Amino acid sequence: MSDSTGERLLFPRWLRLWHWANAVLFLTLIVTGFSLHFAGVGQGGVGFKLAVTIHNLLGVALVGVYLFYLGSMAVTGHWRQYIPKRPLFQRIFKQVLYYIWGIFKGAHHPYEACVEARFNPIQQLAYIACVFAIFPLQIVTGIALLYPDMAPPTVWGMNGLWPAAVGHSVVAYGACAFLLVHLYLALTVGEEHTGVRAMVFGDRKPGAGGAHGHPAPHESPGE
């Protein structure tokens, strides 16, 4: 149960590494992406040329990080986390009910994260869409924009790049909305920011029982 194996932690080291690398890249890409999309609107921003350079480099880095995630997922079996559990609709309903009702009454989180099931049912669905559909879509359209010569010359009478460009923007906007919800839930719904703590130190609480403090990850999580 030591941290070196990582597997017994709620969020093993590789997962946390991936998450924060992802987060940093994600935020910088959003900021530079906006200064590209709205270039010249207002005079702020980092400047078009710098934004292009940063956006290109970090975009490629994000692809690397994504591949790392896929690889680690395959090796550690983390991919099983994405398999929905039965009864699917009942579970989702329960979770939705919690967000629209239970949460106001101070009810328990119906699916507290644990090593066997890191995601709650709604999280699971959202993350399936992100990791297996939206992320690849953003990568493909991003590559098309990075190598615009590869795009078809025209699509429906317009420059062949526009579907990629529009798709890239749609996903980016979606990602911003995702980020808002993600931050809100992570920061306010777990008890005393334990979700964030777990993502930083690997575990929700040092030891069972719920004493405050001692975020040291090497202490046995006692699952």
Binding segment toward ligand HEC, per CB under 6 A, in 46-54, 61-69, 73-81, 114-122: 46-54
* Residue in the structure block whose two tokens are 């924060």: 20
How many C-beta atoms surround the C-beta of residue 221 within 10 A?
A: 20
Return left, alpha or beta for 103; rule: phi > 0 is left, psi -120 to 50 is alpha, else beta: alpha
Q: Could you tell me if 78 and 72 are in contact, meaning their C-beta atoms sit under 8 angstroms apart?
A: yes
Task: Rank residues 109 and 118 by Cβ distance to other proteins and give the closer one.
Answer: 109
113 or 161: whose CB is closer to ligand HEC?
161
Q: Is 143 left (phi over 0), alpha (psi -120 to 50) or beta?
A: alpha
Does position 49 interact with ligand HEC (CB under 6 A)? The reply is: yes
The rounded distance, in Å, linking the Cα atoms of 73 and 100 is 32
87 binds ligand HEC (CB under 6 A): no
Site string for ligand HEC, 118-147 (x = CB under 6 A): ---------------------------x--
Contact between 148 and ligand HEC (CB under 6 A)? yes
Task: Give the strand pairing for 158-159 and 154-155.
Answer: antiparallel
Cβ closer to other proteins: 87 or 222? Answer: 222
Could you say whether residue 193 binds other proteins (CB under 8 A)? Answer: no
Which of 74, 88, 184, 214 is the binder for other proteins (CB under 8 A)?
Answer: 184
Contacted entry of other proteins, ligand HEC, none for residue 157, CB cut-off 5 to 8 Å set by kind: other proteins
Give phi and psi for 115, each to the nearest 5: -60, -35
When asked if residue 222 is in the footprint of other proteins (CB under 8 A), the reply is: no
Contacting ligand HEC (CB under 6 A), which of 161, 171, 198, 199? 161
Specify the 3-state DSSP secondary structure of 159: strand
Judged by CB under 6 A, the residue of 48, 79, 162, 184 near ligand HEC is: 48
Cα–Cα distance between 23 and 195 in angstroms, integer?
15
Number of residues that bind other proteins (CB under 8 A): 40
